[in-house]
């Protein structure tokens, strides 16, 4: 696809980033009136805080609509001085400190200190070095190109991320247990409980897929390399691990399920990026496999980005009580971001001793025991295989699903597969 990455970088990507920065109300589920009313009810919030709320609330970013809860989160995330700087930042692609300083009418040295604090300590900004955005876009448009990351080179570009996925994950992944992070987790939980996120997920957006526990499918002929975590790890040599932001946040909000937290893992070039920014801890393949095996043994369900096994990836191991993605299914009955599974559990009635372990350990409560026997709620099942791996009587086995749609072969194809659901959301969602 000659020339595609260059044109996308210079035109489409920059136009989207600048439009999101300059005209958030055009892409938002809110209007100027709502922002004014929110400001009038909160005289302690600065005009810069209100502008940032407006930016994050865009439908294109799956943003929370303006609310008292959301404003309190933003006021906590950015001090008034930081907000005066952040209000000038665009989406992802970012701006240099010198460019932001001109807009903010502040010395570049002061602005650089603030931006670095937000990127490295609070982790609220994404940072790209010289040539890195172009490198990523080139990889997406030309799948044969190599993608590697080292310490970012000057001039650095600082950009905003969506609240979810993006800012929430980066802030919580550090695992820092201090007053500021605990308060962030508590305030985010209040925003989530407004029910805004499931309203964006009324149509499937198959961004992730759950990988069955290895021992439940390793001998199944229908298993693909993309179904096997071991194959994904074998294809890569670089790995990083951080704390599960969902369990971390829930613990700060008063619900600590006690399950392992250091389970969020980046693989391949994604790990290069995370490690070069000191966002995760470097691990080798052996420790990566050990972390995932222990997570499975604890009853956690492991997902990956919904692409083929040999591509850069990101994976976490989830519990049904904390994971935002699983909670949108169990609490709000939204299809969420999960691709239909390749395998589903099948029960052998002659072996089942009705111990109830599958019911108790299923992260999605897909198994229900009632007066007439077992009920399998297919719409809740994500195909993780936790129930089959823990069944003491071996009464459950994972069986392939007919007409299974294999994972996209590359990131561009993943975008095309998600396109219909995303377009529906942009055109119909009110964002509120």
Predicted confidence (pLDDT) at residue 22 exceeds the cutoff of 50: no
Predicted confidence (pLDDT) at residue 41 exceeds the cutoff of 60: yes
> How remote is the C-alpha of 200 from its chain's centroid?
14
More confident residue, 109 or 147: 109
Q: How confident is the model at residue 51 (pLDDT cuts 50, 70, 90)?
A: very high
Q: Which pLDDT value is given to residue 61?
A: 87
Q: In the 8-state DSSP scheme, what is residue 194?
A: T
Residue with tokens 């055109």: 427
Q: How confident is the model at residue 429 (pLDDT cuts 50, 70, 90)?
A: low
Q: In the 8-state DSSP scheme, what is residue 223?
A: -
Residue 259: left (phi > 0), alpha (psi -120 to 50), or beta? beta
Q: Which pLDDT value is given to residue 343?
A: 93
Q: Which pLDDT value is given to residue 1?
A: 34
Q: Which helix (H) or strand (E) holds 72?
A: helix 68-77
Q: How confident is the model at residue 431 (pLDDT cuts 50, 70, 90)?
A: very low
* Segment 29-42 mean pLDDT: 71
Q: How confident is the model at residue 189 (pLDDT cuts 50, 70, 90)?
A: very high
Beta-sheet strands, E only, within 110-219:
125-128, 157-160, 208-211
Predicted confidence (pLDDT) at residue 405 exceeds the cutoff of 80: yes
Q: Which helix (H) or strand (E) holds 91?
A: none
Predicted confidence (pLDDT) at residue 4 exceeds the cutoff of 50: no
Q: Which helix (H) or strand (E) holds 52?
A: helix 47-56
CA distance 176 to 170: 11
Q: Please state, in angstroms and as integers, the Cα–Cα distance from residue 304 to each residue in 209, 264, 339, 367, following that order.
A: 6, 10, 10, 23
More confident residue, 2 or 260: 260
Residues in the chain: 432
Predicted confidence (pLDDT) at residue 206 exceeds the cutoff of 90: no
If one counts every other C-beta atom within 10 angstroms of the C-beta of residue 277, the result is 20
Predicted confidence (pLDDT) at residue 335 exceeds the cutoff of 70: no
Q: Please state, in angstroms and as integers, the Cα–Cα distance from residue 416 to each residue in 6, 119, 343, 419, 423, following that order.
A: 20, 31, 24, 5, 11
Q: Considering the chain, what percentage of its residues have pLDDT values greater than 70? A: 87
* Segment 39-56 mean pLDDT: 87
Q: How confident is the model at residue 225 (pLDDT cuts 50, 70, 90)?
A: confident
More confident residue, 143 or 229: 229
* Segment 51-64 mean pLDDT: 90
* Segment 358-364 mean pLDDT: 90
Supply 226's token pair.
């993309």
Any residues with CB less than 8 A from the CB of 223 and at least 6 apart, and which? 217, 343, 400
Average pLDDT over the chain, rounded to an integer: 84
Q: Which pLDDT value is given to residue 21?
A: 44
Q: Which helix (H) or strand (E) holds 330?
A: helix 324-330
* Segment 89-109 mean pLDDT: 94
> How remote is the C-alpha of 275 from its chain's centroid?
17
Q: Please state, in angstroms and as integers, the Cα–Cα distance from residue 193 to each residue in 190, 209, 322, 334, 432, following that order.
A: 5, 24, 12, 14, 13
Q: Which pLDDT value is given to residue 34?
A: 76
């Amino acid at each position: 696809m000659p020339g595609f990455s260059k044109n996308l970088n210079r035109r489409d990507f920059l136009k989207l980033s600048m439009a999101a920065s300059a005209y958030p109300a055009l892409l938002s589920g809110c209007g100027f009136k709502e922002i004014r009313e929110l400001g009038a009810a909160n005289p302690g919030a600065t005009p810069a805080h209100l502008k940032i709320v407006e930016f994050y609330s865009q439908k294109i970013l799956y943003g929370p609509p303006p609310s008292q809860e959301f404003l309190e989160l933003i006021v906590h995330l950015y001090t008034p001085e930081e907000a005066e700087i952040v209000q000038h930042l665009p989406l992802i692609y970012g701006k240099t400190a010198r460019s932001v300083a001109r807009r903010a009418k502040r010395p570049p040295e002061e602005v650089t200190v603030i931006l670095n604090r937000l990127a490295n300590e609070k982790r609220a900004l994404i940072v790209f070095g010289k040539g890195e955005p172009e490198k990523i876009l080139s990889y997406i448009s030309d799948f044969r190109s190599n993608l590697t990351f080292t310490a970012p080179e000057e001039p650095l570009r600082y950009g905003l991320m969506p609240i979810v996925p993006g800012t929430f994950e980066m802030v919580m992944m550090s695992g820092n247990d201090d007053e500021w992070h605990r308060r962030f987790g508590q305030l985010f939980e209040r925003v989530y409980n407004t029910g805004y996120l499931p309203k964006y997920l009324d149509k499937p957006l198959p961004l992730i897929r759950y990988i069955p526990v290895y021992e439940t499918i390793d001998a199944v002929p229908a298993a693909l390399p993309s179904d096997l975590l071991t194959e994904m790890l074998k294809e890569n040599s670089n790995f990083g691990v951080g704390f599960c932001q969902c369990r971390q946040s829930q613990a700060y909000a008063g619900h600590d399920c006690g399950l392992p937290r250091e389970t969020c893992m980046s693989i391949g070039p994604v790990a290069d990026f995370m490690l070069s920014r000191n966002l995760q801890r470097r691990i080798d393949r052996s420790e990566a496999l050990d972390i995932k095996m222990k997570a499975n043994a604890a009853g956690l369900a492991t997902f990956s980005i919904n692409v083929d096994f040999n591509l850069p990836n990101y994976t976490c191991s989830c519990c049904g009580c904390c994971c935002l993605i699983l909670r949108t299914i169990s609490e709000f009955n939204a299809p969420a971001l999960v691709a239909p599974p390749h395998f589903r559990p099948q029960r052998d009635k002659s072996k089942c001793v009705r111990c109830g372990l599958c019911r108790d350990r299923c992260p999605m409560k897909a198994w229900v025991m009632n007066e007439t026997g077992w009920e399998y709620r297919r719409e809740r099942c994500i195909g993780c295989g936790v129930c089959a791996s823990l069944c003491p009587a071996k009464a459950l086995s994972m069986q392939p699903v007919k007409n299974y749609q294999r994972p996209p072969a590359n990131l561009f194809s993943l975008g095309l597969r998600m396109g219909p659901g995303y377009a529906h959301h942009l055109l119909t969602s009110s964002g509120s």
